Amino acid sequence: MLRVVSIVAALVILSTVLLFPLSARPLPVIEAYMPMYAMAVVLIEGLTAYFFAIQYRFTGWRFMAALSGAYGYVVVMVIFQVIVFPGVFSEMGLLDTGPQSAPWFWVTWHAGFPFFILIALLFYSPRPSPAPQLAVGRYRHLPGIILMLWPVIFGLIVALVVVSLGHRLPELVAGKSYSNIADSLLAPLVIALGLAALAACVYVTRMRDLLGLWLALALLAALGDVVLTLAAIARYSVGWYAARVLSLISSSMVLGFLIWEISGLYRQLLDSHRQLEDRVTYDGLTEAYNRGYFTSHLEKAMVLARQEGVPLSLLMIDADHFKGYNDHQGHQKGDQCLVAIVAAIKKVLRRAGDCVARYGGEEFVVVLPGANAHTAESIATQIHAQIALLQIPRFDGLSAHVTVSIGIATYDGQGGPMDSEDRDRENLAREDMDHEELIRRADAALYRAKHAGRNTSVIFDAA
């Protein structure tokens, strides 16, 4: 970004230097140029002021509030300048203020903006700090609101003074020539304020952040606008047109940075949202789904199975004698073992909708939509085979390698057990079958698998 700013700064300086000798050369009059230019500046500066105000609202950084006020001041000045500018709305401008009001608005605009930037830099700090909590909480943003509004109010007062004086204003323009500005003390005053604001921006911000960089660049372009305007002497000349282009560039730079920054914040928000979703959805160690997600997923899967009238099976898997393995091998090896078990399970789950979740500790559950008891048993056998391939040694004498026990329970898609005999035996109506009952059955089958010697699978049997 520093390289981009440096290139743009070099182009601004180079264009100002190259166009300076040609500034007074007249060009064709384009009457629509001024209103289009003014409309663009008002829109850009207005959006910039708004974005700074929003940033102040959320950060409490008074520097942002002061910058919003500075750009709001420009909006007021440009609106009044275009209203009174000859040839835009009428031959001599609206409000009957005479030919001198437009150049005076230009002077107050280009003198006032750097002045308010100097004021804003008094509130600069390297990092945003919270707005001070006043006695009454709802007034905590009052200082910032004042910083945003007082330049706008001051601009309105200046505009009213210029409009009210009208024909009595000192002469700055004669016909299309405004050489009186360049020959008066106003020219060095405006240039001095521009240079002071640019130097202060570089000194205060130390160019430590992107906002400081782009604000300095905007002030540099605004200074180029002033130099070419004063060198042009007359309206609709090379310098006059070029100065307005630099003015637009100056206006657009900070707005472009703010939009880029907001886009970056939006990307960060999306990334944070994804990370939060991952934390809510996945187990941090094994990257299997967590228990919360499993419960919700199983409940929805059973509703879908009932609607479609298809079976659904649940496997409850437990690592055999895992506590002994953990105590003997250490927790780090135990964690690695759990990760390896989940990876082995995932290799078996190739059907759409199959998922594995960590139920707790060394227990895992596998949801198998559309799988009857036979299919579930086949998948359980494949899981045993995959874990056997891991060849994770135990060294505790209980068994040569890590094994698992699996309990299998199947939901028939209609709310009851798999056969009518079981349903009659348990006196369980079809509509009473829910996800908690399915989990209970899988857990009971797992218990039987452990008592059958472990490293085996057992299908739930109500008998």
> Cα separation of 40 and 12, whole Å?
20
Question: Does any domain span residue 285?
Answer: no
**If 0-12 CB within 10 Å is exposed, 13-18 middle and 19+ buried, where does residue 173 land?**
buried
Task: Find where tokens 């008998």 sit.
Answer: 463
For residue 134, the model assigns a pLDDT of 41
DSSP 412-441: -SSSS-SSHHHHHHHT--GGG--HHHHHHH
Q: Indicate if 260 and 334 belong to the same structural domain.
A: no
In sequence order, the 6+-apart residues with CB closer than 8 A to the CB of 298 are 314, 365, 367, 435, 438, 439
Is residue 334, in this structure, part of any structural domain at all? yes
Reduce the DSSP state of residue 70 to 3 states and report it: helix
340 is a domain residue: yes
Instruction: State how far the alpha carbon of 181 is from the alpha carbons of 36, 59, 104, 126, 291, in Å.
Output: 24, 41, 9, 38, 76
Q: What is the pLDDT of residues 164-190, one digit of tens each?
A: 998 888 888 887 778 888 888 999 999
What is the predicted pLDDT for the residue at 221?
94
Residue closest to 124 by CA, chosen among 212, 41, 57: 212
Cβ–Cβ under 8 Å, residues 435 and 304? no
Q: For residues 309 and 271, state if they share a domain.
A: no
Q: In this structure, are 187 and 266 located in the same domain?
A: yes
Average pLDDT across the chain, whole number: 87
Are residues 255 and 299 located together in one domain of the fold? no
CATH code for position 409 = 3.30.70.270
Lowest-confidence range among 14-23, 93-102, 403-412? 93-102
Whether residue 298 sits in one domain with residue 260: no
Residue 286 lies in a domain: no
pLDDT at 443 over 50: yes
Distance CA 426, CA 437 (A): 12
**pLDDT (tens digit per residue) in 206-263:** 888 888 999 999 999 999 999 999 999 888 899 999 999 999 998 898 999 889 888 8
Instruction: Answer yes or no: do 23 and 77 share one domain.
Output: yes
Residue 327 pLDDT grade (very low, low, confident, very high; cuts 50, 70, 90): confident
Rounded to an integer, the average pLDDT of 340-344 is 95
Instruction: Measure the CA–CA gap between 163 and 182, rounded to whole angstroms.
Output: 22
412: domain range?
291-459
Which stretches of 255-384 are assigned E, i.e. beta strand?
312-319, 355-360, 363-369
- The tally of domains found in the chain comes to 2
Domain presence at residue 283: no
Pairing verdict, β 404-411 and 312-319: antiparallel
Q: Using one digit for the tens of pLDDT, what is the confidence trace for 344-400?
A: 999 999 888 899 999 999 999 999 999 999 999 999 999 999 999 999 998 776 778
Residue 314, classed as helix, strand or coil, is: strand
